[in-house]
Every structure is written in C-alpha cells, then in structure tokens.
Structure 1
Amino acid sequence: MKRFYVASSFKNIEIVRLVSKNLQNKGYIYTYDWTVNESASTIEDLREIGLNEKNAVMDADIIIVILPAGKGSHIELGIALGQGKRIYLYSPNDEVNNLDTTSTFYHLSEVQKCMGTIEELVEIVTTS
C-alpha cells in the first residue's frame, strides 16, 4: 500500500482534505493529517507538530505539495528531496512557472509538476 503526505498552507486546508480523502478512497494511507491541528500556542506545541510532520514525510512514499505553500511546506519539500521521495507539486494554474514567484527546487527532475484540477492531480498520483 502506498503511503502519502500532503504539504500546503492553512489557506489550502479544504484542498488538502479533498486530495487526502480521494487518495484514501483509492486505498492510499495518509501518514499524518496536519489539518486537524490547532494553532500552536507554545514552542513545545511547535516542536511536537514539527516532529509529527517530519516523521510523516519520512514515512511517506509520496509527497504532494499544494501551492501556494508556506515555509513549513517548503521545509517538508526539502526533506522529501533529501530522502529521494516521489514528489508531486500541484498548482491549479501556471504560477509554478512564474519567474517572480517560483523556486529553483520546483524545477528539479525529482519534482513532477501538476497543473489543472484536483481530479487530474489524483489521477496523476495514482497512475504514476
């Protein structure tokens, strides 16, 4: 069974939940659902969330990064790259190729860029 993790920002929480639900319905295992976390109020909370998210990336076979993503998501992308994970970078439009906002790491050969609908993203992930 393939294990996955979805990284993104809080403003994309509903998209993260939709992608996760669709993959779970296809038999994939979600390594950690960060969308249930409350806002951290202490350094210890941050440490615990960081540990859970790091472990989730390490335990996953597949990492999906949904843009726009926050700083934590970019660290998770870095962990995934360092671990040789299969990475899908999703953007609903072509912003990933905008030189003013893109990242050098988005264009590495280890990163598969996906644009379009959530359904198309899930199809790419499940058929690759």
Structure 2
Amino acid sequence: MNFYVASSFQNKVIVRTVSQQLKQLGWHLTYDWTQTERANSHEDLRKIGTLEKKAIADSDVVVVLLPGGKGSHIELGLAIAWQKRTFLYSPNKEAMDMQTTSTFYHLPEVQICEGSIEELISTIHKN
C-alpha cells in the first residue's frame, strides 16, 4: 500500500513516527518531505510542490496530521479530489471544534481520527 503523510513542519517528528510505523507494516512512503529544508526560493517551492503533488497522486492513502498549514490543507484537497482514502488525525479535537473545523474535514471520504498515534496507525491499517 502506498501512502503519503501531510502536515506542518512543526509536526516533523510525528510525521516521521507515523511514516516509520506504516513502513514497518510493509507500506511504501511515496515521498518523505521531512528530509527537505524549508524552501528559500520560488524554484524550491516549485520543485517541492511537484514532488509532493506526485507523491499524493501515487498514494493509495493520504494521512493528514493536524495542526496543518496552507500546504497540508492543499494536499488534503488534492487527496479528496483524487479520491484517495484520507485519514485526518486531529489529536486536539480541532476537527470537531466549530471554531477551527473545515467543511472539507467532514466529507464522507475523510475519516477523522482522534486518540493516540498507535490508535491512528491501527485505524489506518484496518481500513
């Protein structure tokens, strides 16, 4: 199973943890953006954006870890548009808070997950 993990730079450690645990289950990570530094030019942005877009296209499953920034929300949109199985991890219940949620979090193709990272991995693996 191919997967991609979207999130913000502040969640790099959690992204790596989720990726490692899914890889241990035999899954294939399509792109590890945590190995890159922040973009310093428009050319860097274009290159990274192209790699991330391809990674989502090549994925069977997209995992979005909140809190996320602009990029991870665009990645969520691509996953939804391309009908990828999408898991939205909301550890602080922000996906259910009417002040912080998004209409797109509640689409039928998005599965909201709360709880521990272990519960997230279990839910992804079962589905």
| TM-score > 0.5 by shorter chain | yes
Match of 2:15, SS state, is helix
Q: Which amino acid aligns with 2:29?
A: Y
1:32 aligns with 2:31: yes
Give the ranges of 4+ consecutive aligned residues of structure 1 lying more than 2 Å apart after TM superposition.
none
TM-score (norm 1): 0.98
- Superimposed CA distance per residue, residues 78-115 of structure 1 (whole angstroms, 9 cap, x where no aligned partner): 11111110000001132211111111100000000000
Aligned to 1:66: 65
* Residue 111 (structure 2) pairs with residue 112 (structure 1): yes
- The SS at the match of 1:97 is coil
Partner secondary structure for residue 96 of structure 1 = coil
| Unpaired segments ≥5 residues, structure 1 | none
Structure 2 unaligned regions, length at least 5: none
Could you tell me which residue of structure 1 aligns to residue 20 of structure 2?
21
What code does the residue aligned with 1:89 have? Answer: L
- Counterpart of 1:88? 87
**Count of matched residue positions in the alignment of Structure 1 and Structure 2:** 127
| Shift in Å, 1:11 | 0.5
Moved more, 85-94 or 61-70: 85-94
- Deviation string 1:6-38 (CA, Å, 9 cap, x unpaired) is 000000000000000000000000000000111
What SS is found at the alignment partner of 1:79? helix
TM-score (norm 2): 0.98
